[in-house]
Structure 1
Amino acid sequence: MSYVQGFIVAVPKANKQAYLDSARAVAPIFQEYGALRMVETWSETIADGKVTDFKRAVLATEDEAIAFSWIEWPDKQTSDAAEAKMQTDPRMKNMMDMPFDAKRMVWGGFDPIFDTQS
């Protein structure tokens, strides 16, 4: 099975197009480094939880939407190698002006344990 990096972040609703433009700009770089798939989603229905929820996880305000994203890699080794390469890739410096507060981003790497497509 593949390896997945998942992300959630609060993005000002007014920055939706800038967020999408940023994702479109960085996608070819991720693919060049071996990403199989990159998916960006924009919150449509986010329930308020009793203990926690997506909004509280990233301290979202009323004027922010939640972006839920993932990148699928062939394996963790490819993901790790891509991350190392991106640290020195000059193209990535242009991508660092993100249209959201990166300090509130939640992300992690995941080893799939079940997939209906496998």
Structure 2
Amino acid sequence: MSYIDCFLAPVPRANRAAYERLARISAAVVREHGAVNVVECWLDESGPQAQSYHGAETKGSEIAYGSFTTAAGARQGETVVLSWVEWPDKAARDVGMEKVTNDPRMQFGDQPAAFDGGRLIAAGFKPMPLGIGDA
């Protein structure tokens, strides 16, 4: 069964080009080391809003819905990036990520930081089989 590494990070809007360069390098490296798919997403700050994802019977105007901006701890001048890496399985992920984190191309110490890595939220996820067509 596939395995997903998921990342949520606040990124200064001014660093978009730098982040995209880092993301292209990272995507190539993780694919080389066994990833099946890599997806990088910028938050669509024009909406839709969280309440649009709730049915009419459960939607409440007085409810304070959460947001990715809040979850990521984005500050003034920052937006949010959501990304994930799909691996064939957890064993391939563990082997691949060991190689990724030791790959010289992933050592960005000589470049200005595109975002604050200490504020990155990351975790591994096991997909839920939901029915026909699921692995």
Query: What is the TM-score when the length of structure 2 is the normalising length?
Result: 0.76
The secondary structure found in structure 1 opposite 2:14 is helix
CA contact (8 A) 1:86 1:92 kept: yes
Select 1:63's aligned residue among 61, 77, 80. Answer: 77
Aligned equivalent of 2:7: 7
CA contact (8 A) 1:46 1:54 kept: no
Q: In the TM superposition, what is the alpha-carbon distance from 1:27 to its structure 2 partner? A: 1.3
Which runs of 5 or more structure 2 residues have no equivalent in the other structure?
51-62
Deviations 1:17-76, CA, capped at 9 Å, x for gaps: 111111111211101110000000001137478264312222111311110100000001
Number of matched pairs: 118
Q: In the TM superposition, what is the alpha-carbon distance from 1:102 to its structure 2 partner? A: 1.1
Per mean C-alpha deviation after superposition, the further-off stretch among 48-57 and 65-74 is: 48-57
Q: Whose helix proportion is higher, 1 or 2?
A: 1
Q: Tell me how far apart the structure 2 counterparts of residues 63 and 101 of structure 1 sit (CA, whole Å).
A: 13
Select 2:128's aligned residue among 110, 113, 116. Answer: 113
Sequence identity (%): 36
Q: Tell me how far apart the structure 2 counterparts of residues 36 and 46 of structure 1 sit (CA, whole Å).
A: 29
Max Rg structure: 2
Query: What is the TM-score when the length of structure 1 is the normalising length?
Result: 0.86
Q: Tell me how far apart the structure 2 counterparts of residues 53 and 60 of structure 1 sit (CA, whole Å).
A: 10
For 2:104, the aligned partner's letter is P
CA contact (8 A) 2:25 2:105 kept: no
- The alignment yields a C-alpha RMSD, in angstroms, of 2.3
The question of 1:78 aligning with 2:102 is answered no
Q: Tell me how far apart the structure 2 counterparts of residues 75 and 103 of structure 1 sit (CA, whole Å).
A: 27
Q: Tell me how far apart the structure 1 counterparts of residues 110 and 8 of structure 2 sit (CA, whole Å).
A: 17
Q: Tell me how far apart the structure 2 counterparts of residues 51 and 96 of structure 1 sit (CA, whole Å).
A: 40
